[in-house]
Structure 1
Amino acid sequence: MSAPSHPDAIAPATAVLPEAGPVAPVALSARRPVVAAERLVAEMVPPPRFSGVSFGSYLPDTTQPSQYEAVRVLEEFAAGLNAAAAPARRGWFRRGAPAATGPAGVYLDGGYGVGKTHLLASLWHAAPGPKAFGTFVELTNLVGALGFQQAVQTLSQHRLLCIDEFELDDPGDTVLVSTLLGRLVEAGVKLAATSNTLPEKLGEGRFAAADFLREIQGLSAHFRPLRIDGQDYRHRGLPDAPPPYADEAVDQRAARTPGASLDDFGDLLAHLSVVHPSRYGALLDDVHAVCLRGVRPVEDQSTALRLVVLADRMYDRELPITASGVPFDQVFSQEMLRGGYRKKYLRAVSRLVALARDSSRS
């Protein structure tokens, strides 16, 4: 049985078209962005969704003491960074900050939608510069673009490195990031990270963790883990994924929305295979809404993982998604949701559903 169409599916487009006529939507599948390494470094800041957040704007769940405790610990961590930076600013005869004590960083562990990224971005905003913020994938892409030694040299100049959605997708990344963070800790860089898995459990269910246990335990030693319990705030009192639109309604929405993209879902997935994930953000340059025809379940794991990265970039940019086909909570197969990348797929579903809701309210 096909999924029900959205109630707005038959609304005439002519009633809301701009006076100048329909807008020609762009096709993401026709774009091949080229991104300079300098841009990758310059863009290591919180995404627009979190550009103005603070500890004060975080709203802890009143039933979850761990959320209040996380705010307290992170505020103290930020205060320590500011105190360490203060001597260098106060006097000409001070050579620098005192040696840092305690763990090199903090690690926010918890489920989806409990505000980990909000808190990580709040820490970044509260800390002195120079500082960098990026997802784990963006960090590995930066190393690939700059080369390992140049990445170490560049990031060593920072006081704080924030890593969102810490992942270990393959053995190569395990060794790479473990070595990178070790070098940064030696240089005095403080670290903060979010993930859905405790540091000592990273890698389980994805590859032969025993072969890389030494690397994983080494990473764990750098962090003070902070458990954040709670329900996904995007689902607190909210409905499930909204019903999809009809194809015609997707076309109409794209035509009347300035800055909209319009793609067949299958074409876009195929295009992602020839664009490096480090360029998915650039793929969305000047796009203000995403329209997709024929969303269907993704069976191939490589394709699914690329969709996860694109979902993250769309979520970062708060791009509402108007789509036909199946609802986004059915886009990953049950087999995938039971596999080693389950946490990634659930995060992507949570974010895609949130963006689909944004479109249904517009």
Structure 2
Amino acid sequence: MTEAIPTTVTVKGRYQAMVDAGEIEADAAQIAVARHLDDLNAALTEARITTKKSALGWLFGKRKTAVAAPKGLYIWGSVGRGKTMLMDLFYQVATEPKKRRSHFHEFMAETHARVFEARKVLSEKNGKNSDPILPVAEAIAEETRLLCFDEFTVTDIADAMLLGRLFTKLFERGVVVVATSNVDPNDLYKDGLNRNHILPFIELLQQKVDVLKLDSRTDFRLEKLSGTKVYLTPLDDHSEQALTDVWRSLTNNVPPHSETLENLGREIPVNKTCAGVAWFTFDELCRQPLGASDFLRIAQAYHTIILQGVPVLEARRRNEAKRFINLIDALYDNRVKLVVSADAEPNELYDAPTGTEVFEFERTASRLIEMRSEEYLADEAGIEN
């Protein structure tokens, strides 16, 4: 089915090129998922070609036939098995022009906002509360035919209430979903409040996607970090090159992309991310008006953070020090892996004689030391990616 698409623009072809270059080891489970992704890409291409032919036939007086959307994919498995890497490759080669990739959390936050606005418009127009889901679903389907979701998980009752009605409409309009998750679809929102509201959606989802468990032999991310120096000091050309080397190893040289995280109505720009890894500079996180909940959102979105250029913080930079403390707390509590370049060892990063941050930073320094240990790097507890 995939022969019509050149090997160089298939997931399996790009995956094999990475194997040949020594960037990754071949894994049978990953190769099997790559084949499924290529089959879906070919099916999307064929459906689009058929739709165009059907439209041309209608122009010349022939009957226009409906083209059924292919089934999407729901890829789940334990952390570090390569789900996000394969999604990166698939999204790069997907021929569907109306494609969108998003963290599921961001997509749902945006959808709730659109539903709120649609409800206001309908109320003003009709003088009554009409169902706002239909115009929102129609707008999404008009914009996007292929929806790719990272971190598909349901933890919020508001999302659970909305999912069934929204995706019923999206699937009716031919939207195809590809998702990665750590959770078997049957366990979505497990033990959640009023879980019965989501059960029809779970049933619908499994009708519209093929469910694949990515059961790779190991956590490749931990293999790559094991034995790697993840706290690099001082700030010089050597540490910056080492940071780049770790990035390339973790992302397998797959080109990065940018994205935006949403949190409580605010946007957090992520300028460089790939394969569940995000690269930030100290200034991007700690010189911006970000709070503890923003750092928690980052910790929930990525399994590894690369943090570039942490300076020695003097008393006059106490606001930046406070943000850095909150950032490390969020990453530590969620067992996120941290690779950092800094101008001094952890115990020497905060240079101030007095203030509450002095005592708080003692905990931060202790955590930074622990976060570079083999025990911490091997700990999967709490990781959601």
Q: TM-score, normalised by structure 1?
A: 0.57
Indicate yes or no: 2:98 matched with 1:135.
no
Count how many residue pairs are aligned between Structure 1 and Structure 2. Answer: 259
* Aligned-partner Cα distance in 1 for 2:299–2:190: 24
1:192-231 to 2 correspondences below 5 Å = 192-207=178-193, 209=195, 212-230=198-216, 231=218
State the Cα distance separating 1:98 from its structure 2 match.
Answer: 4.9
Equivalent in the alignment of 1:116: 83
Equivalent in the alignment of 1:289: 281
Structure whose alpha-carbon radius of gyration is higher: 2
* Aligned-partner Cα distance in 1 for 2:163–2:341: 35
Equivalent in the alignment of 1:144: 112
Contact 2:11 2:37 in 1 (8 A): no
Indicate yes or no: 2:262 matched with 1:310.
no
Amino acid at match of 2:282: V
Choose the corresponding residue for 1:276, options 252, 255, 264. Answer: 264
* Aligned-partner Cα distance in 2 for 1:156–1:209: 27
Amino acid at match of 2:188: L
1:46-125 to 2 correspondences below 5 Å = 54-58=11-15, 64-89=27-52, 93-95=56-58, 98-100=66-68, 103=71, 105-124=72-91, 125=93
Contact 1:84 1:98 in 2 (8 A): no
* Aligned-partner Cα distance in 2 for 1:243–1:327: 17
Equivalent in the alignment of 1:232: 219
Name the % identity. Answer: 21
Q: Which runs of 5+ in 2 are unaligned?
A: 1-8, 59-63, 116-132, 241-261, 273-278, 311-323, 345-385
Equivalent in the alignment of 2:370: none
Bigger relative CO (Cα 8 Å, ≥ 6 apart): 1
Equivalent in the alignment of 1:26: none
Contact 2:232 2:340 in 1 (8 A): no
Distance 1:283 1:69, change over 3 A: closer
1:220-245 CA-to-partner distances (Å, cap 9, x unmatched) read: 33321111122232211432785657
Distance 1:219 1:204, change over 3 A: same
Contact 2:10 2:38 in 1 (8 A): no
RMSD: 4.5
Indicate yes or no: 2:277 matched with 1:320.
no
* Aligned-partner Cα distance in 1 for 2:76–2:47: 26
Contact 2:81 2:219 in 1 (8 A): yes
Distance 1:109 1:314, change over 3 A: closer
State the Cα distance separating 1:85 from its structure 2 match.
Answer: 0.5
Amino acid at match of 1:113: G
Contact 1:110 1:197 in 2 (8 A): yes
Distance 1:307 1:218, change over 3 A: farther
State the Cα distance separating 1:279 from its structure 2 match.
Answer: 0.7
Range that drifts further, 144-153 or 52-61: 52-61
Contact 1:110 1:227 in 2 (8 A): yes
Contact 2:73 2:212 in 1 (8 A): yes
Q: Which runs of 5+ in 1 are unaligned?
A: 1-51, 258-273, 295-301, 334-344
* Aligned-partner Cα distance in 2 for 1:188–1:358: 49
Equivalent in the alignment of 1:174: 160
Amino acid at match of 2:73: V
Q: TM-score, normalised by structure 2?
A: 0.54
